[in-house]
Amino acid sequence: MHSEWQLQEAKGNFSQLIKRAASGDAQMVTVHGKPTAVVVSAEEYARLTRRRGKLSSALLQPDLAIEDLDLARSRDTGRDIEL
């Protein structure tokens, strides 16, 4: 299945590009051979941009294991500089 399009080709076959993206197959558009944009279905876009909650809520979860976190700090006080 064709999933990479040059910009000129994508413009000429836009409806086909949209139909393929809507069917769940992401479509890559390139400009001068470089990947520039990806066309995905509205459903996939909604899934990718859905908020999953606040960071503070995640940090307050009881299953967050504090012992798995490395909270060690360097005790180095720096160096003495003569002014």
Q: What is the DSSP letter of 36?
A: E
Token pair for 12: 């000429």
Displacement of CA 26 from its chain's centroid (Å):
14
Provide the CATH topology of domain 1-50: YefM-like fold (3.40.1620)
pLDDT band per the 50, 70, 90 thresholds, residue 46: very high
Task: Calculate mean pLDDT across residues 36-57.
Answer: 89
pLDDT of 43: 95
Share of residues in the chain with pLDDT > 70 (%): 88
Determine which helix (DSSP H) or strand (DSSP E) holds 4, and give its type and residue range: strand 4-6
- d(CA 1, CA 17) in angstroms, rounded, equals 11
Query: Are 29 and 37 within 8 A, CB to CB?
Result: yes
pLDDT tier for residue 66 given thresholds of 50, 70 and 90? low
Name the DSSP letter for residue 38.
E
One-letter amino acid identity for 79? R
